[in-house]
């Protein structure tokens, strides 16, 4: 993989990468942010949804919820040796329940750059004219 991923999913940062997720709902914006994050590591279209991980977190602060959602996904993916490509999130008040699907890393999957974690830098979750936007810097 040597092409710049979807340009509107990223913004400039000196050393790391700024990711942006957009959607009609906050949940969809978070799902989109997860896609932007995991697309730094591999070509999501090539990832087969063979295994699913479930996750749950409680967080009243929307911005911290974004960081925790991304970091939990990154942690679970690494714990299980998975490349994740599909994401789904539901919210009930301050309770967030999500699933992500992917497959164990295999030789044919293209290798991008490992994302260490999502940071609080340039962290923003906001309502826009067309829905929601969620952004932060991820450390690579």
**Position 54 contacts other proteins (CB under 8 A):** no
Q: Which is nearer to other proteins, 12 or 92 (CB)?
A: 12
Three-state SS across 24-52?
CCHHHHHHHHHHHHHCCCCCHHHCCCCEE
Q: Where are the alpha helices (DSSP H) in 9-126?
A: 26-38, 62-80
**Position 66 contacts other proteins (CB under 8 A):** no
**Position 111 contacts other proteins (CB under 8 A):** yes
For other proteins, the binding residue among 46, 53, 76, 91 (CB under 8 A) is: 76
Shortest spacing between CB 63 and other proteins, in angstroms: 8
C-beta contacts of 3-7 below 8 A and 24+ residues apart: 5/36, 5/39, 5/40, 6/36, 6/39
**Position 42 contacts other proteins (CB under 8 A):** yes
**Position 46 contacts other proteins (CB under 8 A):** no
Q: Are 125 and 132 in contact (CB under 8 A)?
A: yes
Task: List residues near other proteins by CB under 8 A.
Answer: 1-4, 10, 12-17, 41-42, 64, 67-68, 71-72, 74-76, 78-79, 81, 83, 105, 109-114, 116-121, 123, 137, 139-140
């Amino acid at each position: 993989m040597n092409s710049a991923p979807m340009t509107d999913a990223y913004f400039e940062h000196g050393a790391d990468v700024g990711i942006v997720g957009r959607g009609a709902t906050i949940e969809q914006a978070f799902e989109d942010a997860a896609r932007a994050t995991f697309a730094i590591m591999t070509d999501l279209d090539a990832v087969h949804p063979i295994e699913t991980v479930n996750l749950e977190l409680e967080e009243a602060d929307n911005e911290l919820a974004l960081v925790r959602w991304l970091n939990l996904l990154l942690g679970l993916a690494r714990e299980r040796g998975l490349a994740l490509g599909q994401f789904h999130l539901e919210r009930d008040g301050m309770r967030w329940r999500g699933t992500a699907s992917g497959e164990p890393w295999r030789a044919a999957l293209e290798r991008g750059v490992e994302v260490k974690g999502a940071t609080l830098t340039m962290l923003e979750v906001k309502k826009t004219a067309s829905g929601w936007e969620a952004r932060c810097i991820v450390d690579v």
